[in-house]
Amino acid sequence: MAISSFRNATVRHDTGPSGSTRTPSADPSVGELVGEISDDLARLVRSEIDLAKAEIKEEASRAGKAAGMLGGAGYAGHLVLLLGSLAAVFGLAHLVDLAWAALIVTAFWALVGAALFLTGRKRMRDVHVKPERTTETLKEDARWARSRTN
């Protein structure tokens, strides 16, 4: 469900606390007014909670994708490290001593691993756990409520 649909939820102002339709000419009682306010407030809180849930789900999805990329990079790096390093060590062993060949290959894969780590960390920083839009709409609701009571 789209997040914007939670903000655009229809709030019915033409019904009483029990859901019955009032006639425009009838003066509502204090109890009816309090009931309407209570219903509107409950509806508002429910819509804000639904919006927060949708935002958190969206951010969790982004975090999951970033974590999957980090995991995939780790697995691929591990395989490459094992198989490629073995081949590279034996290939370099024709030019330098076997121990130096192993050290050169290890240093190379350390650089590759650092690059993958930095990329994954950067993507994780783009994930926002705090539901920004919900926070903003709650502030708007509070401003609206304060202006209505003054």
pLDDT in tens, the chain (150 residues): 444 444 444 444 445 445 555 555 578 888 888 888 888 888 988 998 988 888 888 888 999 999 999 999 999 888 877 888 899 899 999 999 999 999 988 898 889 889 999 999 999 888 877 778 888 888 888 888 788 766
Contact between 6 and 47 under an 8 Å Cβ cutoff? The reply is yes
Q: 150: which 2 tokens? A: 């003054």
Q: What is the CA radius of gyration of the chain?
A: 30
Global pTM reads 0.38
| DSSP letter (8 states) at residue 46 | H
pLDDT of res. 25: 52
- pLDDT of the residue at 117: 94
SS3 call for 15: strand
- pLDDT (0 to 100) of residue 71: 93
pLDDT at site 35? 87
pLDDT for residue 97: 93
3-state secondary structure 100-121: HHHHHHHHHHHHHHHHHHHHHH
Give the pLDDT confidence score for residue 118 in this predicted structure.
Answer: 94
Res 21: pLDDT: 53
Strand partners, 68: none
Residues 6 or more apart whose CB falls under 8 angstroms from that of 91 comprise 101
Question: Nearest 5°: phi and psi at 17?
Answer: -60, -30
